[in-house]
Chain A
Amino acid sequence: MPSAGEAWRDCFRAFYIHKFRAVLGKNRLIFPGEKVLLAWSGGPSSSSMVWQVLEGLSRDSAKRLRFVPGVVYVDGTCPVVSTRRLRRVAPRTWPYPILGSPVVMIPFCLHLEGAACGQSREDRAKTLSDVKRILQTLGFPWHVVTLEEVFALPPSVLRCSAPEPVGTVGTYKVAVDSFLQQQHTLEAEGVGDSPSSAQGEAQPSQPCTQDPQNLAEPPPAAQTEALSRLFDSVKTLTAKEELLQTLRTHLILHVARTHGYSKVMTGDSCTRLAIKLMTSLALGRGAFLAWDTGFSDERHGDVVVVRPMREHTLKEVAFYNRLFAVPSVFTPAIDTKAPEKASIHRLMEGFLLRLQAQFPSTVSTVYRTSEKLVKAPRDGCASGPRCLLCMCSLDVDTADSATAFGAQTQDFSQMQPPTPLAEAGAPTVPCRSAEVGRAPNCCQGTRPCRREDSRARVIKQLCYGCRVNMKDVPSLDPLPPYILAEAQLRSQRLSPEIQEYLLENSDDRAHASGSGAWGPPEDGGEEGQTVCDCINKNIFN
């Protein structure tokens, strides 16, 4: 960086803030007065994002940000970045305690994050107290949820609710104009404070709207143990990371829906998104790249995920945080200190950063290519069934097609029927085709199929990428109950002509929905298992 006096610092700051505001302004998705949930992981990018929002809302900024923010922190999750990697992209930036700023250093924990990694209770409690300290200084409503709460999620979190009517550019302009007018009249009447800052000041008197007991005590040990059991049962680090990401997303979605947030902001930087794009490619998620890495992700319907930090490189973020003392909390990630070859995420990150050293335009090239992706399935029909876990439209063909999916589901080495000798002995390797979605015909008659059936039922409802991940999860039982419940509901959805005979079981409906904020129930989606069983007996095959 040129050191022409200290003026460059102001230039850098102006440039950095401008990029943030420009990304928001260009896309015009966030309407004035809208409730936006900031997903804060404690890491540098999301901390920077929260800081930007804080500064943007303060009265002395030229064009104040107009939305109403809240912050969510998921205890037991953290950025997939270790101190080693931070050093590589931003030398001499981490760790530097800056006088007067609440930059927090957590004693380095050898293993993984929270309960997913075996972090001790004391460390978790300490991290949590540091997190709360920072959250209290922000002045927004804040929510801290533990990862263990996935065991209490309702199945409806996996359903795509009807989106609120999205305005066009014209509507946005109208909304902004009317908001500004409203402000103007309020100030003219002598109210003084604008609604958003009034809310902000009122916040410290009402702490977090989440269950207060959450903050005082750690989550029940049974849940922590169940979480550890789940993650221990997953065979590869790649699948663990993907599962963690999925659970975290569902949790944040639940918080957003419960408290009426219509947008969620995540702090993914340009570097992080380029890595995510290449990783998603390698995981078989080529169909969903635009949703995974674009500015906005509308797959959940009513809650839209936006990524305002997507034009900032990790290097810029690190510099900014260092120069302007942005507080952040370091928590070790699920793959901190894991060897590089351990997971696809780590591999891709290492590869891209190394290639970047040799060809300095690599990250921006990948990012620029990602901007050319569109949110459309190749065939053109987007209204098919959605994946149970990632909620994107399913991208699998029939098992017989001449595609990569077809190649993995058919099995030409079993062309000859097994001889009686083979049926007597157990097969040496389980038939892999069952994993990727075909009904387990090959096991017919040789062993009880109920377990395989229920597993196959769940697998059938997943997209290609999620199916490949599930191959590394040998048993679906440790999964949180909401996933299995929703899988069962979906597979039991009967054909329309029988709908009229179905009885709505009010007990099941009470179980299915948590709070009241779920929107209208889907057609036929609320029937319980017992009802379907008794209808099944009446159907003549």
Chain B
Amino acid sequence: MPAPQCASCHAARAALRRPRSGQALCGACFCTAFEAEVLHTVLAGRLLPPGAVVAVGASGGKDSTVLAHVLRELAPRLGVSLRLVAVDEGISGYRDAALAAVRRQAARWDLPLTVVAYADLFGGWTMDAVARSTAGSGRSRACCTFCGVLRRRALEEGARLVGATHIVTGHNADDMAETVLMNFLRGDAGRLARGGGLGSRGEGGALPRCRPLQLASQKEVVLYAHFRRLDYFSEECVYAPEAFRGHARHLLKLLEAARPSAALDLVHSAERLALAPAARPPPPGACSRCGALASRALCQACALLDGLQRGRPRLAIGKGGGARDEEGPPPPPPSDPGSAPGPADGECGAACKERCE
């Protein structure tokens, strides 16, 4: 059966149906519409003012590739200049191949590329070393928690190195939907209170960050990359199967089968969450060690690294209370192998209830 006509230009044959609306479009019209939507998000959300120097967090994956490509197309209209910043976490067998893809992209697009490595920034700690360090406790590794925090720190450092005024990352609607589901399942009220917008304004000296692709669904990102024939690295991180996010991702897949707009509905819910003032994080100050933005005495990155250095990697994970200070209290007692890695044992009263039942 021949494909219907493109609903936009009515000239070419449609090459795809948009996942959310079911509209039949040809490749060129779809890409145009996608770019127009991203432009609208940036303009309506006032994310990137003219004259900004934008550091694009490039991992070599589909989201950051599409983001960089679209911003490069829109850069003249927005009046911004782009720099690529790639982060080398030191995950062998994964990151090296991804970085190769980033280098190819930088060469093709003629954009300046800066690579920052964990090993240089964080005193020799690569993600492989972190994973080895957190592996022994019997619970799942939680190295993704480390990676996320340290990567944001690294991105900030890299952006400063290139003189950027804004940071953009390629998070799409599915990512945001998974995040809100995950935060509820883990009881992370602080992150729920902070999240939901298109980015952060950048208080306390941190660079403003935003996510122009936040309202685009993952399927559309993949379709865009397909139609623009973009070269990206598509394998999963070697530590990804152990992440809690996998549960949220699985749930989102199920929800999208029942209702195609589930991802955007979740993003809408996240935008409108209202949390009690007590649950919100305190107004940010500066880390006493590195001067970065921090809600407590030490920023999360310094706290995590501190734990690693002291041989107590779980020190700053979960709501350990006084674990942020220089002289930390003794670590929490080892918990059952089967319990959740998320909420710490003292915080969630259900830990003792399980044993009674």
* Chain A residues within CB distance 8 Å of chain B: 1, 236, 238, 277-278, 280-287, 289-290, 315, 341-344, 347-348, 351, 355, 358-366, 368-369, 372-378, 395, 400-408, 410-416, 418-419, 421-422, 427-429, 432, 464-465, 468
Contact = CB atoms under 8 A, between A and B. Distances in A.
Nearest to A471: B261
Contacts of A369: 184, 187-189, 192
Interface residues of B, number: 72
A402 B45 contact: yes
B276 A413 contact: no
Contacts of B13: none
B268 A403 contact: yes
Nearest to A371: B276
Contact of A281 (B40, B181, B188): B181
Given A360-B339, A408-B264, A410-B37, 12 more contacts: A281-B181, A281-B266, A281-B269, A284-B266, A361-B339, A364-B350, A368-B348, A372-B275, A402-B215, A413-B25, A415-B33, A464-B268
Given A278-B184, A286-B268, A404 B215 contact: yes
A364 B259 contact: no
Nearest to B45: A402
B185 A413 contact: no
Contact of B349 (A348, A360, A364, A468): A364
Interface of B: 4, 7-10, 18, 20-25, 29-30, 32-33, 36-37, 40-42, 44-45, 47, 173, 180-181, 184-189, 192, 198, 215, 247, 251, 254-255, 257-259, 261-262, 264-276, 278-279, 338-340, 342-343, 348-351, 353-354, 357
A282 B276 CA distance: 21
Contacts of B257: 341
A360 B184 contact: no
A13 B265 CA distance: 42
A278 B247 contact: no
Contacts of B353: 364
A468 B8 CA distance: 25
A528 B130 CA distance: 71
Nearest to B269: A286
Closest 9 CB pairs of A and B: A286-B269, A402-B45, A287-B272, A284-B265, A364-B350, A359-B340, A404-B268, A361-B350, A402-B44
B352 to A, nearest CB: 10
B338 A358 contact: yes
A468 B259 contact: yes
Contacts of B272: 286-287, 377-378, 395
B4 to A, nearest CB: 5
A327 to B, nearest CB: 26
Contacts of A347: 251, 254-255, 258
Given A365-B186, A365-B187, A429-B23, A282 B268 contact: no
Which of B4, B185, B268, B274 has the largest number of chain A CB atoms within 10 A? B268
Contact of A413 (B8, B44, B198): B8
A284 B262 CA distance: 8
B271 A413 contact: no
Contact of A360 (B8, B23, B270, B350): B350
B24 A429 contact: yes
Contacts, number: 205
A253 to B, nearest CB: 24
B181 A365 contact: no
Given A366-B187, A402-B215, A428 B258 contact: no
Contacts of A362: 185, 340
A167 to B, nearest CB: 23
A286 B184 CA distance: 12
A366 B192 CA distance: 12
A334 to B, nearest CB: 15
A419 B8 contact: no
B274 A428 contact: no
Contacts of B181: 278, 281-282
A365 B342 contact: yes
A219 B169 CA distance: 59
A343 B185 contact: no
Contact of B4 (A286, A416, A428): A428
Contacts of B273: 286-287, 289, 373, 378
B36 A412 contact: yes
22 contacts: A236-B258, A236-B259, A278-B184, A278-B185, A282-B266, A287-B272, A341-B257, A344-B255, A347-B254, A348-B251, A364-B350, A366-B184, A402-B40, A403-B215, A403-B271, A404-B271, A407-B215, A408-B261, A412-B36, A413-B25, A415-B8, A468-B265
Contacts of B267: 404
Given A238-B259, A377-B274, A284 B268 contact: yes
Contacts of B30: 413
Nearest to A352: B185
A404 B264 contact: yes
Nearest to A280: B269
A413 B29 contact: yes
Contacts of A238: 258-259
B274 A290 contact: yes
Contact of A277 (B18, B20, B184, B247): B184
Pick from A290, A408, A419, A422 the residue with the most CB of B within 10 Å. A408
Nearest to B275: A372
Nearest to B336: A360
